[in-house]
């Protein structure tokens, strides 16, 4: 047909008319070379193809093992951040608890000192049982505090006045264990051992008292509470 002939002529570079082929002015060899040479892409298309090959997305050709490894790395980083956040919260909580504990200890110590003062008043009034109870309350509030050796030594003094010598010796020894250089504790231990007829121990305790305490105790000495 006429349409197919024109289409064939367009592809071959020749134009035909009903009367025969029309020479388009190109040599036959050049026409053949043009037919065989592929069409080069336009410059814009070339650079687009180089920058966006097949419009593939990053990571489309990534190895599944590598993708899984990246996911694990991201999870590990998230876990590390969470651990650091938790550690910061724990540190803050621990610091607050330490402040609260310190404040509570200071209040307990203040109350213990108040009870010791009350015990001293009872000793001065010769109310030895009440003095013993006040010193015991101080020890319950602060069993191993900075003044616990004083509470024990004073309670030993009240026990001596109550003629409970064995208990007085126990408290005096506990006071010496907490404060080995506290002379009054040694003196009350010496007095308790004396009444228990443990004279050798009493002498040694008095010698330690003289070595650690410069003041004189006088008779008895058990009422000179601190």
Amino acid 188: pLDDT = 97
* Whole-number Å distance between alpha carbons of 173 and 159: 13
Half-sphere exposure of 71 (CA within 13 A, CB side): 8
Please report the pLDDT score of residue 102 as a whole number.
84
Share of the chain above pLDDT 90, in %: 46
Average pLDDT of the chain, as a whole number: 75
Reply yes or no on whether the pLDDT at 12 is more than 70: no
Looking at residue 148, its pLDDT comes to 96
Q: What is the 3-state secondary structure (H, E, C) of 65-89?
A: HHHHHHHHHHHHHHHHHHHHHHHHH
7 pLDDT band, cuts 50/70/90, is very low
| 8 A C-beta contact, residue 148 and residue 130 | no
Residue 195: partners with Cβ closer than 8 Å, 6 or more residues away: 160, 163, 165
Percent of the chain with pLDDT over 70: 51
Burial class from Cβ neighbours inside 10 Å (0-12, 13-18, 19+) for residue 193 reads: buried
Is-contact 25 18, C-beta < 8 A? no
Tokens of 199: 């004279």
Q: What is the pLDDT of residue 171?
A: 98
The pLDDT value recorded for residue 186 is 97
Q: pLDDT tens for residues 183-223? A: 999 999 999 999 999 999 999 999 999 999 875 555 444 45
The tens digit of pLDDT for each residue in 87-143 reads: 666 666 666 666 668 888 899 999 999 999 999 999 999 999 999 999 999 999 999
- Assess whether pLDDT exceeds 50 at residue 17: no
C-beta atoms surrounding 158 within 10 Å: 28
Residues, the chain, total? 226
At a CB cut-off of 8 Å and minimum separation 6, what does 152 contact? Answer: 135, 139, 171, 172, 174, 175, 178, 185
pLDDT at 38 over 90: no
pLDDT above 80 (res 151):
yes
Select the more confidently predicted residue: 144 or 89: 144
Label residue 11 by pLDDT band (50, 70, 90): very low
Q: What is the pLDDT, as a whole number, of residue 213?
A: 80
pTM of this prediction?
A: 0.56
């Amino acid at each position: 047909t006429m349409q197919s002939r024109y289409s064939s002529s367009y592809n071959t570079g020749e134009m035909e008319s009903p009367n025969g082929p029309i020479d388009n002015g190109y040599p036959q060899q050049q026409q053949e070379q043009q037919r065989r040479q592929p069409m080069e892409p336009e410059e814009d298309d070339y650079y687009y193809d180089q920058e966006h090959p097949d419009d593939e997305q990053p990571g489309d050709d990534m190895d599944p093992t590598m993708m899984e490894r990246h996911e694990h790395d991201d999870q590990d980083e998230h876990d590390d951040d969470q651990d650091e956040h938790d550690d910061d919260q724990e540190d803050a909580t621990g610091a607050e608890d330490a402040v609260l504990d310190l404040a509570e200890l200071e209040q307990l110590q203040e109350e213990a000192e108040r009870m010791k003062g009350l015990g001293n008043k009872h000793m001065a009034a010769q109310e030895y049982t009440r003095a013993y109870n006040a010193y015991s309350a101080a020890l319950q509030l602060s069993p191993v505090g900075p003044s616990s050796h004083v509470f024990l030594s004073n309670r030993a003094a009240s026990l001596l006045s109550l003629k409970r010598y064995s208990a007085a010796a126990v408290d005096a020894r506990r006071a010496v264990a907490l404060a080995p250089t506290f002379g009054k504790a040694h003196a009350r231990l010496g007095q308790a051992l004396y009444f228990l007829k443990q004279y050798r121990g009493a002498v040694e305790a008095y010698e330690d008292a003289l070595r650690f305490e410069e003041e004189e105790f006088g008779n008895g000495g058990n009422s000179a509470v601190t």
